[in-house]
Amino acid sequence: MIKITEDDFSIDEVVKGIIRPEMGGTVMFLGTVRNNSGGKKIEQLEFEADPELAVKELEQIRNETIQRFGVADVSIIHRVGVLRPGEKIVLIVVGAAHRDEAFKGCRYAIEELKKRAQIWKKEFAEDGSYWVGEVDE
């Protein structure tokens, strides 16, 4: 499953959708909004994306992860819109025959998403708002 959504998601449903009898390991990364960044209190984040391009890139990352690490399946969900501290942002679930491949695949998927996906983050702090990347973090 690859998805860009404004809606919250169920971790259990995504994990259940990945697990198969041939898998011995399932690894998950859940990214959430934290209440601080660079020493500033964060009130909320806003995520924007080009949904078509972002989904296409996430599908490419999924395919690369499967090929590179020999994992059985990968799901990636990323939310857009305004999110507050404690809310879920991104979920990556990787299933594989063995835990080592699942861990490596999950790490690869989140790192590539952060580098390549057409998803932008704006932080709203006490002293104003800014798009991440416009100021030094």
Note the pLDDT tens digit of each residue in 64-110.
Answer: 999 999 999 999 999 999 999 999 999 999 999 999 999 999 999 99
Kindly state whether residue 132 falls inside one of the protein's structural domains.
no
pTM for the whole thing?
0.92
CB 137 within 8 A of CB 38: yes
CA 79 to CA 111: how far, in whole Å? 17
Q: What is the pLDDT of residues 10-33, one digit of tens each?
A: 999 999 999 999 999 999 999 999
- Specify the number of domains making up the chain: 1
Is 55 part of any domain?
A: yes
In a domain, 60, yes or no: yes
Whole domain around residue 28: which residue ranges? 2-33+50-120
Give domain status of residue 99, yes or no: yes
Going through the chain in order, the beta strands assigned E by DSSP cover: 2-5, 25-32, 36-37, 40-49, 73-79, 81-83, 88-96, 119-125, 128-131
